[in-house]
Amino acid sequence: MPDREERFRVMLDMVEATVGPGPRVLDLACGTGSITDRLLQRFPNAVSTGVDLDPALLTIARGYFCADERVTFVTADLTDPGWTSKLPYGTYDAVLTATALHWLRGGPLATLYGQLAGLVRDGGVFLNADHMIDRTTPRINAAERAHRHARMERAKEKDGAVDWARWWELAAGDPVLAGPTARRFEIFGEHADGETPSVRWHAETLLSAGFAEARPVWSSPCDSLLLALK
């Protein structure tokens, strides 16, 4: 993914700038724990709760962090109205997520933002790095997408990079991940039917949900990192 590490760097810069170097963090739709891994490398005094529904990705995350008392993982469906009751803390300094919430459609995502407004403490932050598409620029969008996908194809051909479909094929053949991967496809199917609303939509929805300020703090040709301050 282009600019992935730069996104994470800016995300953690803004965590430090707003809530300091020892935050209590909710890693939302955490997957394998990519955000938590970088969080703890940079801020050893931080603690993290990772929440996800995907049994395969959570198997990897729990295995990787099994000896780290700073990390807790929770299996929960973010569209379940009661998912927050499974969390070990009532509030968090920061809620962080990347390349995940576009799996949700607009209605459930707006509901989720309302729940996050209740989880983030006053002065805390929510940071979402994701595909946020401006539908008013279709020619720019098409050119960027074609260029990005050509780059991805070159990476597969030249460097042996693994794409989405191939990654799951490998997981299905792994003795530890085969079972969780099968359950994962029972839950989600091939791919969730989500949406990619614009940065403006995200900011306005977060403000309506109860955040005090919201704006992008980083962007690339295809993604944005939006910060909402409680």
**Which tens digits make up the pLDDT trace of 104-158?**
999 999 999 999 999 999 999 999 999 999 999 999 999 999 999 998 899 889 8
> Within a domain: residue 131?
yes
> Within a domain: residue 180?
yes
Share of the chain above pLDDT 70, in %: 98
> Within a domain: residue 54?
yes
- Predicted pLDDT of residue 192: 64
pLDDT at 23 over 90: yes
- Predicted pLDDT of residue 193: 67
- Predicted pLDDT of residue 164: 85
- Predicted pLDDT of residue 190: 75
Total number of domains in the chain: 1
CB within 8 A of 226, min separation 6: which ones?
Answer: 127, 128, 129, 132, 199, 202, 203, 206, 214, 215, 216, 217
> Within a domain: residue 158?
no
- Indicate the pTM of the whole model: 0.95
In the chain, the amino acid numbered 97 is: T
Mean pLDDT across the stretch 74-82?
A: 97
CATH number, position 220: 3.40.50.150
Q: Domain range spanning residue 15? A: 4-136+164-229
